[in-house]
Structure 1
Amino acid sequence: MASLDSFKSRQTLEAGGKTYTYYSIPEAQKNGLADAASLPFSMKVLLENLLRFEDDRSVRKADVEAAVAWLGNRGKTETEIAFRPSRVLMQDFTGVPAVVDLAAMRDAMVALGGDPQKINPLVPVDLVIDHSVIVDEFGTPKALDENVALEYARNGERYTFLKWGQSAFDNFSVVPPGTGICHQVNLEYLSQTVWTRSEDGAEIAYPDSLVGTDSHTTMVNGLAVLGWGVGGIEAEAAMLGQPLSMLIPEVVGFKLSGKLPEGTTATDLVLTVTQMLRKKGVVGKFVEFYGPGLDDMPVADRATISNMAPEYGATCGFFPVDQKTIDFLKVTGRADDRIALVEAYAKAQGMWRDAATPDPVFTDTLELDMGDVQPSLAGPKRPQDRVLLADAKTGFAASMESEFKRAADIASRYAVEGTNYDIGHGDVVIAAITSCTNTSNPSVMIGAGLLARNAVAKGLTSKPWVKTSLAPGSQVVAEYLEKAGLQKPLDALGFNLVGFGCTTCIGNSGPLPAPISKAINDNDVVAAAVLSGNRNFEGRVNPDVRANYLASPPLVVAYALAGSLQVDLTKEPLGKGSDGQPVYLKDIWPSSAEVAAFIEENITSELFKSRYADVFGGDQNWKGVEVTEAETFAWNGGSTYVQNPPYFVGMEKEPKPVTDIEGARILGLFLDSITTDHISPAGNIRAASPAGEYLQSHQVRVQDFNQYGTRRGNHEVMMRGTFANIRIKNQMVKDAAGNVVEGGWTHFQPTGEKMFIYDAAQKYAESGTPLVIFAGKEYGTGSSRDWAAKGTKLLGVRAVVAESFERIHRSNLVGMGVVPLVFQGDTSWQSLGLKGDETVTIKGLAGELKPRQTLTAEITSADGSVRQVPLTCRIDTLDELEYFRNGGILPYVLRSLAA
């Protein structure tokens, strides 16, 4: 649909021998949008989107003007705008439930008397199957093939379903397993920086933008593609043509200058940036990087920084188009006419950055001289907890006191049955080169290979208790490591290829060898993992590992050699060489010049072109997956992987009026930084848990449980897994000594009986009792995990009351019809003295509810005393209010399409 174009911005552009139509910001500036050229580059992408979609309904002339009025108020505004991304990206953990929902919507459309073909993505959707490979086999040349075989054996039902979706839905493509991590495939192949589409005989050019069902979608901001993570719920709405409702953001400018010193890596830089931005406070804001430090910074380093936006809390971490963008598009084999268009478009739009570009206007700024960056790790349980490499040993000792309460026996060691070694606190039992953050970056991957080569030459070996793994983000990485002669030394240290996908970082680390696991659990050893990932939340990486550290790939290799966090890598030897002499990290660390030379010699556009030539075709395993093509899916009632969810059962064409929450019981009292992984874990399913009992009742053997993440297409498993993380602490539940009990427990009221949260929720449902959750600051931080909201809804929770919410999870709760509420002032559930046996009534939801309205919670204690507590309703926009009134975004979209 053509724009109303109030600012006469529609123009034509010549590039690469072709003519394109585009919506020109400089032209709009001439016609009334004064000073638009001064906007941050990321804001220009939003402005262009508004110009292109101006229709006087979802986008009005006033909305376009508000985007430029930003310059006067620096983004400190409550103006709501509608953003339509060019496309949607999914991985399979979050993609399977999204496709399940689409399939269920087709069934529901039939039930409402509508046309199931109306349920189809209206924008391009790419789903990359990357989250299902598990590191079962490691340290052998057979590891890759054996892990792939296990992956297909475990996930046959899911893969059949996804292959059905590929044939059933228009505008939907699937990148098969074994190709790479979705963000790296997005960066290296799917993204175009400038997108095009044919419309009424014209070829329209516009900035590439997207939303993804994974929080690390932001990685592509490094290629000047504006994108961020949303829940599967929001992504489905975007797929079905709904604009994303958002407040015009504040944009924090991060000025980079100088160069990284010798001995540091892009990982050290990003851990520093993450810590600085967490301290600054950028939740819900855009971050945009600028300054002379960008002049020589390759896209791979930018992508590493952009990837970690969820860890520093921002919506995105954006880098504008410049010569380095063009260089990357060339080396990754993009088409010549596309590269010509990107450069011409960016220059015509005022979206091109070079050394002479004036600094944009920002809401606020901060600055880093990259020459000040030092080698770092982050741990033991949060990405922002940066610790200098030189302080890692003392930092671990401090955490043994503060976090793990085991300082008294920090030097104790315990025999491992059937071996000639023992293990102790801080021993590294997992060393994994994994995740999108680093495996996309040739400098750290080549660096790891060179360090391994140097270590092998000195005669060093990895310690026998370390589970080593290498899971590159794309096949291109394996190709250049092999070509450079660096895979062999990595193999010699146990870093054999284990798969192409997201492994240890999301909990797919696989089991530790049984004797090591037994020694850890029998003796309560605080074992450690060092991984080149972006997430190290407790309980996430492996159930046997309590201290998790993020580090660069070269440092992962170094810690495999040293074998312990209780070794100071800056002063103590990694081990003894074949000559009997101690070998130190500085002896084997490669120079930045050598790394650069290897990159120059071994990474070519031909390599990318050949590896991505048949990216949607898949290997023989994928080609062997058989499906029946049909408009609607033939659900298998016996499947433990894919089931028709109950969201639309009994749904009518008009929603029922929203009611107040009366006499609710408290399901959980939680502290700060409860992650979506705490709420809906992705990793191991325990046999003695509601989900484990369900699977066993369906004749699934414990060894075939797979992970929660792979069973997200089955609501029966996921409901039972909600609030079931082994490390979650419901402050209502304490042992005889008064210590809070770990795991998904609660007290059923009014009897006070201790039981699993799922079991209690079912008992409350039997009596029609609504439920609420209370929490502290940053509730829902971490991955954009829709099941953290879906599971909450299906347990019968009507409201979550917290001191603050993470952006995506707040939105997801609204998208499922659960109301997020925030305490006002310094109030908290602790200051109110809540114990969990109170009843809660929340007034003001029925009737004329408005965005961000103040509501009142009436809390009645067990002794009958009543308190009135003011709460801010965090339904932020009018669109969100419509979703909430409809019981969620999916019923809203379905009713709209059926009408």
Structure 2
Amino acid sequence: QRNFERYDFLKWGSKSLNNFYAVPPGTGICHQVNLENIAQTVWTSTDQNGVTVAYPDTCVGTDSHTTMINGLGVLGWGVGGIEAEAAMLGQPVSMLIPEVVGFKLFGELQEGVTATDLVLTATQMLRAHGVVGRFVEYFGPGLASLSLADRATLANMAPEYGATCGFFGIDDKTLDYLRLTGREEGQIALVEAYAKEQGFWIDPAIEPIFSSSLELDLGTVVPSLAGPKRPQDKVVLTHVDDVFNHDLGEVYKKQQSRVPVAGKDHDIGDGDVVIAAITSCTNTSNPGVLIAAGLVAQKADKLGLKPKPWVKTSLAPGSQVVTDYLEKAGLQQHLDNIGFNLVGYGCTTCIGNSGPLAEPISAAINGNNIVAASVISGNRNFEGRVSPDVRANFLASPPLVVAYALKGTVIDDFTTTPIGQGSNGQDVYLKDIWPTNLEVATTMAGAVDRQMFQARYADVYKGDKHWQAINVTGSETYQWRAGSTYVANPPYFEGMSMTPAPVQDIIEAKPLLILGDSITTDHISPAGNIKADSPAGQWLQEHQVAKADFNSYGARRGHHEVMMRGTFANIRIKNEMVPGVEGGFSRYGEEVGAVYDVAMKNKADGVPMIVIAGKEYGTGSSRDWAAKGTNLLGVRVVIVESFERIHRSNLVGMGVLPLQFKDGDTRASLGLTGDDQFTIKGVASLQPRQDVTVEVTRKDGSTFSFTALCRIDTANEIEYFNNGGILHYVLRKLAA
């Protein structure tokens, strides 16, 4: 009911556009469905002479974790929606030729260590090495000990370690996975022959030459989590309590406390785990870690353990096959018994769609400044992403998620203190419920088979009765629904002419926000809950949408009025222009207001705006609304110390100028404030990666200038920028 308009729009597209197919909702997460069914590794088509030609499978997707498919030997990465739309309309994807960083793996993982522990270790190492805008290729003798699913886990988190992709070549493990997941034998034979002929087949005797390289002994990887705010901040399992207790005092400036929960027979305190979720394509595509989670649940259930009463638990696989093998192994009933019931097939908690906590628990947390925790098997733990009630978020393997639900807290050493007491009162420790590698392998061998994949994907585009009941008629253009609050005709092309007007210089622009390091696309364009007192919430109420029907920003991406009001509306963002204030606020003169309201006042005054920030600006999801919203607010330029790849591209695609500080300059070293005005001339004649002079006028009238690097990186991008954006450029080309 909530999402009918969006599904109607998608189904209209599948009926109206050539070569466009919609996998219906409820099937799973797109990356996992691609891995298990759609990707071919090698495609064939007929050329203009009628000859059948084989060529490598490649993929760009409008989610950054598109990179998971590199585990199958398919080169792919995430792009913004605007770039994908342009590609669908025939525009090539342009980029600078990347450096390739080699990551050599050798040895084998120790007993009890999971692929999740490995990917969190690799993420930390690669972030430290520096791989933004680069390809990573895994190689070395250690590959032989990694399953295809393990490789997909490593490839999946490429956005978290900053790379464009994390690629694996093709070998027998690739062919085995294609066979397991139901691909035809003829296709598998083609992949093998093509890979060997073209040099894509992994040859352990050959060590490729890379731009730079690093290596990891798999035997040194230990059980780990990442958090509490960034996926690259790996924490060894035995030190999680130390990290949290340190942050409690140093970051949150408080001591441990516990408070009663109204109407409940338990209290709640700092470090309590209030969300434990088995979620995300990163881990639910890996039968090994899901079987391990089921075995932990089985052992715990038989001992009489239960999650603590304040923990919200959930299981959301990325494909329906997961349910089949958990049930066949007899593990789903044990997961159910300890609260890990199936809630659906999708991103759920990983993207912030866990739903609200129980009201008494939420009230106790927010009314007493409790620093609650979550432990999820996701890929991102940015501030404000998982839940507005949770400030400390940890990424972990599915079996550790189950164990933390039973323990209920992150403040104790997990390996030396009991998880809980069994039905006969005995202390139960992690070692008592942790499965051996042999148990996992034996269970998996008996539970996962080719027939499951073939049955689930026999007709992947059919959908359930609800999808089938959506009746649409194909047409050349979509008929916009008047008054819709979900899908609306955006204003990007209003007043557009065949010939683009010259790009105007940026004169006396005012800062809208001055931000710190690691500003994510979740900070810029949150996907979670919409607060009733926010500009987006107020707009929805003005359009007769009840609070219960707000849905989320992620669900409202088809409506620009909601999304532009949600830009920079993250509850944890900190604008240095309004010190001491947390959330989406800015300043108009001396008046503090919501970012959207301040932006509209500046637009009404005819004043252009800029955003200033530190390192790693735009990290995280490929969310194109982070650029669309920036554009619609009236921001002309973003000046930062460094950009993440996709967001920089998205800004160019929306006609926003990305500039990068040079020569060690920062907002702090230059003393930039919200009272400064910024002028940039010669914008209409910019060249790729040229130096740009930024003139600054202080509040007292004094002036100075600094040099920044234009991060429009290619000649194609200059064309997009001069046209007002990539879609304007493509439409003019099509109309010419």
CA contact (8 A) 1:520 1:526 kept: yes
Query: 2:606 is matched with which residue?
Result: 768
Query: 1:434 is matched with which residue?
Result: 279
Amino-acid identity (%):
66
Match of 2:622 among 769, 784, 787: 784
CA contact (8 A) 2:693 2:708 kept: yes
Tell whether 2:385 aligns with 1:545: no
Mapping of residues 747-896 of structure 1, within 5 Å: 747-748=587-588, 751-846=589-684, 848-896=685-733
Query: 1:127 is matched with which residue?
Result: none
Gaps of 5+ in 2: none
- For residues 412 and 717 of structure 2, the distance between their equivalents in structure 1, rounded to whole angstroms, comes to 52
Mapping of residues 413-432 of structure 1, within 5 Å: 413-432=258-277
Tell whether 2:81 aligns with 1:232: yes
Match of 2:411 among 566, 573, 588: 566
Query: 1:243 is matched with which residue?
Result: 92
What is the deviation of 1:423?
0.5
Query: 1:267 is matched with which residue?
Result: 116
Secondary structure, counterpart of 1:247 in structure 2: coil
Mapping of residues 80-479 of structure 1, within 5 Å: 153-200=1-48, 201-356=50-205, 358-406=206-254, 409-410=255-256, 412-479=257-324
CA deviations over 1:727-778 (Å, ceiling 9, x no partner): 11110002xxxxx211111111xx3211111111111111211111111111
Tell whether 2:357 aligns with 1:512: yes
Tell whether 2:502 aligns with 1:657: yes
CA contact (8 A) 1:253 1:288 kept: yes
What is the deviation of 1:687?
0.4
Q: What TM-score results when the alignment is normalised by the length of structure 1?
A: 0.81
CA contact (8 A) 1:690 1:720 kept: yes
CA deviations over 1:182-205 (Å, ceiling 9, x no partner): 110010001001011122311111
Query: 2:463 is matched with which residue?
Result: 618
What is the deviation of 1:822?
0.8
CA contact (8 A) 1:844 1:856 kept: no
- For residues 250 and 730 of structure 2, the distance between their equivalents in structure 1, rounded to whole angstroms, comes to 49
Query: 2:583 is matched with which residue?
Result: 743
- For residues 653 and 5 of structure 2, the distance between their equivalents in structure 1, rounded to whole angstroms, comes to 28
- For residues 399 and 385 of structure 1, the distance between their equivalents in structure 2, rounded to whole angstroms, comes to 13
CA contact (8 A) 1:665 1:838 kept: yes
CA deviations over 1:538-563 (Å, ceiling 9, x no partner): 10000001100000000000000000
What is the deviation of 1:567?
2.5
- For residues 144 and 397 of structure 2, the distance between their equivalents in structure 1, rounded to whole angstroms, comes to 23
Secondary structure, counterpart of 1:590 in structure 2: coil
Gaps of 5+ in 1: 1-152, 735-739
What is the deviation of 1:662?
0.7
Q: CA RMSD in A?
A: 0.8
- For residues 426 and 384 of structure 1, the distance between their equivalents in structure 2, rounded to whole angstroms, comes to 20
What is the deviation of 1:219?
0.4
Secondary structure, counterpart of 1:381 in structure 2: coil
CA contact (8 A) 2:15 2:473 kept: no
Query: 2:479 is matched with which residue?
Result: 634
- For residues 665 and 681 of structure 2, the distance between their equivalents in structure 1, rounded to whole angstroms, comes to 18
Match of 1:602 among 417, 424, 447: 447
CA contact (8 A) 1:691 1:720 kept: yes
What is the deviation of 1:263?
1.3
Tell whether 2:516 aligns with 1:679: no
Aligned length: 735
Secondary structure, counterpart of 2:85 in structure 1: helix
- For residues 410 and 459 of structure 2, the distance between their equivalents in structure 1, rounded to whole angstroms, comes to 43
CA contact (8 A) 1:730 1:741 kept: yes
CA contact (8 A) 2:225 2:395 kept: yes
What is the deviation of 1:826?
1.1
What is the deviation of 1:340?
0.6
- For residues 263 and 390 of structure 1, the distance between their equivalents in structure 2, rounded to whole angstroms, comes to 14
Query: 2:337 is matched with which residue?
Result: 492
CA contact (8 A) 1:645 1:714 kept: yes
- For residues 384 and 824 of structure 1, the distance between their equivalents in structure 2, rounded to whole angstroms, comes to 25
What is the deviation of 1:831?
1.2
Letter in 1 for 2:72: L
Secondary structure, counterpart of 1:598 in structure 2: helix
Secondary structure, counterpart of 2:145 in structure 1: coil
What is the deviation of 1:626?
2.3
- For residues 637 and 863 of structure 1, the distance between their equivalents in structure 2, rounded to whole angstroms, comes to 50
- For residues 329 and 296 of structure 2, the distance between their equivalents in structure 1, rounded to whole angstroms, comes to 13
- For residues 342 and 792 of structure 1, the distance between their equivalents in structure 2, rounded to whole angstroms, comes to 43
Letter in 2 for 1:473: G
Secondary structure, counterpart of 2:696 in structure 1: strand
What is the deviation of 1:176?
0.7
Query: 1:30 is matched with which residue?
Result: none
Secondary structure, counterpart of 1:858 in structure 2: strand
CA contact (8 A) 1:295 1:354 kept: no
- For residues 263 and 849 of structure 1, the distance between their equivalents in structure 2, rounded to whole angstroms, comes to 55
CA contact (8 A) 2:418 2:429 kept: yes
Letter in 2 for 1:793: N
Letter in 2 for 1:185: V
Letter in 1 for 2:637: A
